[in-house]
A and B are shown apart, each in its own frame.
Chain A
Amino acid sequence: MKTTLHTTRFSRIGIAVGAIALTMATLAGPALARDPAYEAARSAGQVGEKMDGYLGIVGGGSADLRRIVDDINIKRKAVYAQKAQQQHATVEEYAFTSGCLLISQTSQGEKYQAPDGSWKTRGAGAPERDSRCP
């Protein structure tokens, strides 16, 4: 029994180490904060958090902004896919759950997608979220 527990624990550590290594490799160096251009676009309300767990462009974005958003969304999807597999959930389920949390975590002035699909600006109060959000 103990051996089984240890094996599970070790394999989990292995997965975690692997995940970190993979993230590092993908980003080509440690990235501990948002890219300044991404941060600026968030603050300016040019990008917003969508309900599905991905970033969206509010209005017509520049080519540079689209590239940034696409890049982040691809990375997000990779993370969602990996974590969803560990949790025996679908990528969409994991992404949607993350979307709920990310909308909650938006700062004042940032954009998010309301349940009706429209873009809202985060105010002082709680954001409008899907009824299934935790």
Chain B
Amino acid sequence: MTCLRLTDFHPAATSSAMLADGTKEGRSGQCARRARAMMMGVAATMMTAGCISVNAPDKPIVIELNINIKQEVIYRLAEDASNTIESNPDIF
């Protein structure tokens, strides 16, 4: 794994890094630690995302999209939609 040195190295604000601070650990060690911490973060994110999909595996995509539709909009449109349905009896 490559470690991009964007800025100067400082020990990460984690307990393990803080413990290692006094030992004058080499840069490669810090890098590896950093990479490990990042991978753990990614893994945690993936696990969280997994949880969401486990909760709703059978729901069709349509419902997911409809989450963006707000109830207040639906209430505002209800009367007009009702008239539209009434005036188009052939397609409803």
Q: Which residues of A contact B (CB under 8 A)?
A: 23, 27, 31-35, 50-52, 72, 75-76, 79-80, 83, 86-87, 89, 92-94, 96-98, 100-102, 105, 115-117, 130, 132-134
Q: Contact between B58 and A117 (Cβ–Cβ < 8 Å)?
A: yes
Q: A76-B92, A130-B66 known; A117 and B84 CB under 8 Å?
A: no
Contacts A/B (CB < 8 Å), 6 sampled: A89-B77, A97-B73, A105-B92, A133-B74, A134-B75, A134-B78
Q: Mostly helix, strand, loop or mixed at chain B's interface?
A: helix
Check: B91 CB closer than 8 A to any chain A CB: yes
B66 to A97, Cβ gap below 8 A?
no
A76 surroundings in chain B (CB, below 8 A): 91-92
State the CA gap A81–B88 with chains docked (Å).
14
B73 touches A32 (CB 8 A): no
A94→B81 contact, CB < 8 A:
yes
* Known A92-B65, A94-B77: A116·B90 in contact at CB below 8 Å: no
B73 shortest CB reach to chain A, Å: 5
